[in-house]
Chains A and B, each alone.
Chain A
Amino acid sequence: MRESVTVEHISKKYDIGKLQMDTNFREALVRFLKNSFSRSSENKVEIWALKDVSFSVKQGEIVGLIGRNGAGKSTLLKILSRITCPTSGKMNIRGRVGSLLEVGTGFHEELTGRENVYLNGSILGMTKKEVKSKLDEIVSFADVEKFLETPIKHYSSGMRMRLGFSVAAHLDTDVLFVDEVLAVGDAAFQAKCLGKMKELRDSGRTLIVVSHTMETVQNLCPRVLWIDNGKLRQDGCSEDIIKSYMGAIRGKWRTGINMNDIFGGVQESGYDLTQALNRIGTGDIQYIGIEFRTLDGQPKKQIFSGDSLKLRLHYQAHKPVSKPNFFFRIANEFGEKVTTLGTYLSGIEIPILYPGIGYIDLDLECLNIMPDRYYLTLWINRYSDIPGEKETLYNGLDRCAPFHVEYIDYYRSGRGIDKVWGGIFIPCKWNLNGLNSENVVVRDINV
């Protein structure tokens, strides 16, 4: 696929001295006079917000930009959206560009919802015709139909945000730059936003998203650029980079167990969870790794739809743990549950677990979910013996590991199964005896 965004050696310099000193004519005059006599540049403080950043993004790619505050993410986005110019370097963007650095830019308090949709839409680069044709959709997405003719000064901040996001979400551009605006509204609206993003992605648009929410980045972007101190520190697959990024900002957390011993040097077939970040729970017992194997115990590097699979969940108990239940959940990248498997659900009761490390195997006869990216959520809890009392969460790892289920030509028909047909597939066999027909062909590409 062709390149959609190309950035070559972009640098951006800010003269902080200049910014602060020169905002007053008198001072500028004094400085000008001073500088004409002495060639000093004492007040000049240069800051390189970006230094020699190069990358390219292919059409239809979704790329996340991560980095600490002040690392240069927003500057990069501003340069890409042409709000500000780079000090040096080149960039090239193919197609119509839209940028969303703020929700509801240019909204005016005195104007009505409808008027603001038109204004905001045209500020974002839509034509009047486009806004007109999408007005109903925009308004119903934002859920403000009833207040369309009300000046937005009477809107709640949530309504304003929703309306702002909604206008932007209906922007019909080839390339879209988004800055941390996904975190608007309540949970329901956020889910809606994510859904919309997915829609945009599926329609082949190029998306570059800046976010501090690793969850969003991991859910949305297969590829991540890590900007550190104005430089492009890493560029690649999101889970690897997020992991090293989080490691860099939080410092490393270790259990003192060498995972190589556990995995026997075949980590590609599993994940080391000792450094998992979003760990919650009491920590009396913790997951330390997850492995994928075949049913006869061989490491499994690739998982296809319809495969049989052995999941080995490694744990470490720091003290005796009573009545633990192991849970394992597969969710899609939008956080929707696909399925939950648990020892509790299968009726297994473990009275006590002794301190130390161990594992529990989970055999799946047929992983009948469609090829897609999934995330695994693991937790260990204990349900109270007293009815109505809250459960104890020993350890919870929300979406700790990505889980790729690969495309496979299950029926050997040359027509592989794909998620466009639905979320799960059920291995099946057609019985053709009752057909009033002849010469029915059953394709088998292996024959």
Chain B
Amino acid sequence: MTEGTKLEWIKEFWRYKELFYFFVWRDIKIKYRQTVLGALWAIIQPLFTMLVFTTFFGKFAKMPSDGIPYPIFSYVALVPWTYFAGAVTMSGNCLIGNSNLLTKVYFPRFAIPASSTLSGLIDFFIASILLFGLMVYYHVPMSWGLLLWPVLVIPLVLLALGLGMILASLNVKYRDIKYTIPFGIQILLFITPIIYPISILPEKYQKLVKLNPLTGIIDAFRSSVFPNKHMDFGSLSISIVASIVIFFIGLAYFRKTEKDFADVV
């Protein structure tokens, strides 16, 4: 693909930026309309997962947590994880969920996965507020590292969107993907250090787990909150590079297939 068409593609998307904004706005509005608890749901999900994990893994299974109280140890990872899992699921199913739009109107197709990925961020930030509460409760000192918390969202979004675009494009053609996504997410939860610290793994497996791009990002989220846990820059760099690569692969595949969406979906 030539530079010219790439530039045009970006320009085209820019012209439709308001539509993109309205998609995000729609997703957020619809999510909590007719719910009693509304935006509280953004907190409930990671909070209850944390409580269950704390009870079973922290209390009964005596899971080590690098000297950090297990509830906050897991919550810190669960907030980005919940976002990631939701974003991949949403964007992976976004095209078939909007098939009526695909077959009836023209607009840059990228707006659909992009808005599905971004609309979950609001939940992420709401859930982050509770994190401060937990930090106060567990006497975790506030540090400059916390500034990294919102920054780390960037590779997380790129990774989710990249995967989301690949899955969405495949999903249009092969509905098997719809069933694969929840299953894949479940597996990913266990091969990413969320429930456990990476330090409990044997050296050999640590290397393997670090190949998972989510590992470095989730670990960095933890390091940004706990000053004593130093940042594993090597692992984070791998994750960032991998996220960017996956994003561009996703984008390329999406662009290659998007012209057929309306015919196949």
Q: Which residues of A contact B (CB under 8 A)?
A: 14, 19, 22-26, 28, 78, 81-85, 97, 99, 101-102, 105-106, 108, 110-111, 115, 118-119, 122-125, 127-128
Least Cβ distance of B20 to chain A in Å? Answer: 9
In the complex, chain B residues 14-51 whose Cβ is within 8 Å of any chain A Cβ: 16, 18-19, 21-22, 26, 29-30, 33-34
In the complex formed, the residue of B with least CB distance to A123 is: B105
- B26 in contact with A99 (CB, 8 Å): no
- A83 in contact with B104 (CB, 8 Å): yes
B187 contacts partner chain A, Cβ-Cβ < 8 Å: no
CA of A124 to CA of B105 in the docked complex: distance in angstroms? 7
In the complex formed, the residue of B with least CB distance to A74 is: B103
- B173 in contact with A122 (CB, 8 Å): no
- B104 in contact with A101 (CB, 8 Å): yes
- A99 in contact with B174 (CB, 8 Å): no
User: Across chains A and B, which 3 residue pairs bring their CB atoms closest together, nearest first?
Assistant: A82-B106, A25-B176, A85-B259
- A84 in contact with B262 (CB, 8 Å): yes
In the complex formed, the residue of A with least CB distance to B34 is: A110
Query: B144-166 CB contact bits vs A (8 Å, 1 = yes)?
Result: 00000000000000000000000
Q: A24-B175, A28-B174, A84-B262 are in contact. Are A106 and B29 (CB under 8 A)?
A: no
Cβ contacts under 8 Å, B106 to chain A = 81-83, 97, 99
B264 contacts partner chain A, Cβ-Cβ < 8 Å: yes
- B174 in contact with A106 (CB, 8 Å): no
- A106 in contact with B100 (CB, 8 Å): yes
Q: A14-B263, A108-B30, A110-B33 are in contact. Are A118 and B22 (CB under 8 A)?
A: yes
Cβ contacts under 8 Å, B30 to chain A = 108, 110-111
CA of A127 to CA of B176 in the docked complex: distance in angstroms? 37
CA of A85 to CA of B258 in the docked complex: distance in angstroms? 10
B122 contacts partner chain A, Cβ-Cβ < 8 Å: no
Majority secondary structure of chain B interface residues (helix, strand, loop or mixed): helix
Find the residue from A14, A83, A108, A119 having the highest chain B CB count within 10 A: A83
The tally of CB-CB contacts under 8 A between chains A and B is 77
Q: A82-B106, A83-B262, A84-B259 are in contact. Are A24 and B19 (CB under 8 A)?
A: no
- B174 in contact with A125 (CB, 8 Å): no
B101 contacts partner chain A, Cβ-Cβ < 8 Å: yes
Cβ contacts under 8 Å, B21 to chain A = 122, 128
Query: B221-265 CB contact bits vs A (8 Å, 1 = yes)?
Result: 000000000000000000000000000000000000001101110
Q: A81-B106, A105-B101, A127-B18 are in contact. Are A23 and B26 (CB under 8 A)?
A: no
- A123 in contact with B103 (CB, 8 Å): no
Cβ contacts under 8 Å, A122 to chain B = 18-19, 21-22
- A105 in contact with B105 (CB, 8 Å): yes
- B22 in contact with A119 (CB, 8 Å): yes
CA of A106 to CA of B22 in the docked complex: distance in angstroms? 11
Q: A99-B106, A122-B22 are in contact. Are A23 and B101 (CB under 8 A)?
A: no
- B105 in contact with A106 (CB, 8 Å): yes
Cβ contacts under 8 Å, B110 to chain A = none
B107 contacts partner chain A, Cβ-Cβ < 8 Å: yes
CA of A231 to CA of B224 in the docked complex: distance in angstroms? 64
Q: Which residues of B contact A (CB under 8 A)?
A: 16, 18-19, 21-22, 26, 29-30, 33-34, 100-107, 173-176, 259-260, 262-264
- B173 in contact with A83 (CB, 8 Å): no
- B173 in contact with A23 (CB, 8 Å): yes
Contact residue among A14, A81, A123 (Cβ-Cβ distance under 8 Å from B101): A123
Majority secondary structure of chain A interface residues (helix, strand, loop or mixed): loop
Cβ contacts under 8 Å, B264 to chain A = 19
Least Cβ distance of B235 to chain A in Å? Answer: 33
Other than A14-B263, A23-B174, give 9 A-B pairs with Cβ distance below 8 A. A28-B174, A85-B259, A105-B105, A111-B26, A119-B22, A119-B26, A122-B22, A123-B19, A125-B19
CA of A106 to CA of B19 in the docked complex: distance in angstroms? 12
CA of A106 to CA of B104 in the docked complex: distance in angstroms? 9
- B29 in contact with A84 (CB, 8 Å): no
CA of A110 to CA of B32 in the docked complex: distance in angstroms? 10
In the complex formed, the residue of B with least CB distance to A86 is: B259
CA of A162 to CA of B260 in the docked complex: distance in angstroms? 32
CA of A128 to CA of B18 in the docked complex: distance in angstroms? 7
Least Cβ distance of A183 to chain B in Å? Answer: 17
Contact residue among B100, B173, B260, B262 (Cβ-Cβ distance under 8 Å from A78): B262
CA of A128 to CA of B259 in the docked complex: distance in angstroms? 27
Least Cβ distance of B93 to chain A in Å? Answer: 15
Find the residue from B16, B21, B106, B107 having the highest chain A CB count within 10 A: B106
- B103 in contact with A108 (CB, 8 Å): no
Cβ contacts under 8 Å, A110 to chain B = 29-30, 33-34
Cβ contacts under 8 Å, A83 to chain B = 102-106, 262
CA of A19 to CA of B21 in the docked complex: distance in angstroms? 33
Contact residue among A25, A115, A124 (Cβ-Cβ distance under 8 Å from B29): A115
Q: A23-B175, A24-B174, A85-B259 are in contact. Are A101 and B33 (CB under 8 A)?
A: no
Query: Could you jot down 24 A-B contacts, CB within 8 Å?
Result: A22-B173, A23-B174, A24-B176, A26-B176, A28-B174, A82-B106, A83-B103, A83-B104, A84-B263, A85-B259, A99-B105, A102-B100, A105-B100, A106-B105, A108-B30, A110-B29, A111-B26, A111-B30, A119-B22, A122-B18, A123-B105, A125-B16, A125-B107, A128-B22
Cβ contacts under 8 Å, A99 to chain B = 105-106
Least Cβ distance of B106 to chain A in Å? Answer: 4
CA of A78 to CA of B102 in the docked complex: distance in angstroms? 11
In the complex formed, the residue of A with least CB distance to B263 is: A84
Cβ contacts under 8 Å, B105 to chain A = 81, 83, 99, 101, 105-106, 123-124
Cβ contacts under 8 Å, A82 to chain B = 106
CA of A72 to CA of B165 in the docked complex: distance in angstroms? 31
Least Cβ distance of A225 to chain B in Å? Answer: 21
Cβ contacts under 8 Å, B262 to chain A = 78, 83-84
- A106 in contact with B101 (CB, 8 Å): yes
Cβ contacts under 8 Å, B107 to chain A = 123, 125
Cβ contacts under 8 Å, A28 to chain B = 174
CA of A300 to CA of B260 in the docked complex: distance in angstroms? 55
Cβ contacts under 8 Å, A128 to chain B = 18, 21-22
Cβ contacts under 8 Å, B100 to chain A = 102, 105-106
Cβ contacts under 8 Å, B26 to chain A = 108, 111, 119
CA of A271 to CA of B21 in the docked complex: distance in angstroms? 57
Cβ contacts under 8 Å, A124 to chain B = 105
